[in-house]
Structure 1
C-alpha cells in the first residue's frame, strides 16, 4: 500500500469515527431539556454539515489523479482541520 492509499484509509477511518461521535452527541441532545435540545441541535447541524463537506473532499481525494492529488489533499486537510476544531468546540458545549 502506498502513502496515498494509507492516507486515504486513515482519513476514512477517522471520518467514520467522527460520524459515530456525532451519533453519540445526537443521543445526548435527545435526552436534554427542550431548550437545551434546540441549542445542541444547532451545533449538531453545523457538525453534520462539516462532516458532509469532509466526505465530499475525501471523495475528491479518492477520485484525484496522481498529479492532482497534492492539491486536493490540501483542500481536504483544510476541511479536516475545520471539522476537528468544530468537534472540539461541540464537545465543550455538550459538557
Structure 2
C-alpha cells in the first residue's frame, strides 16, 4: 500500500484510527510497564501527536526503578538462559 492510499484511509476513518491507536498503545504499555518487561518502573509519561498525514504516534518517557545499564542488558541478551526466559514471557 502506498503512502497516499494509507493517508486517504486514515483521513476517512479518523475515529477508527484513533480507537486502534488507543488499543495498540494500551497493549504496548500494559506489556512494557505493567507486564514487567523492562523491570520495575518508577513512572512513565507520553504525548501523542499526529503527523502531517494524520497518522498518530507516541513519544514516551519511562523512568526505570533499577540501575541496569545498556552494557548490562547487552551481557544479559547474550545469555541463552535469559533469552529463553524473555521469549517465554
- Normalization by structure 1: what TM-score? 0.34
Which structure has more relative contact order (CA 8 Å, sep 6+)? It is: 1
Report the structure, 1 or 2, having the larger helix content. Answer: 1
Report the structure, 1 or 2, having the larger strand content. Answer: 2
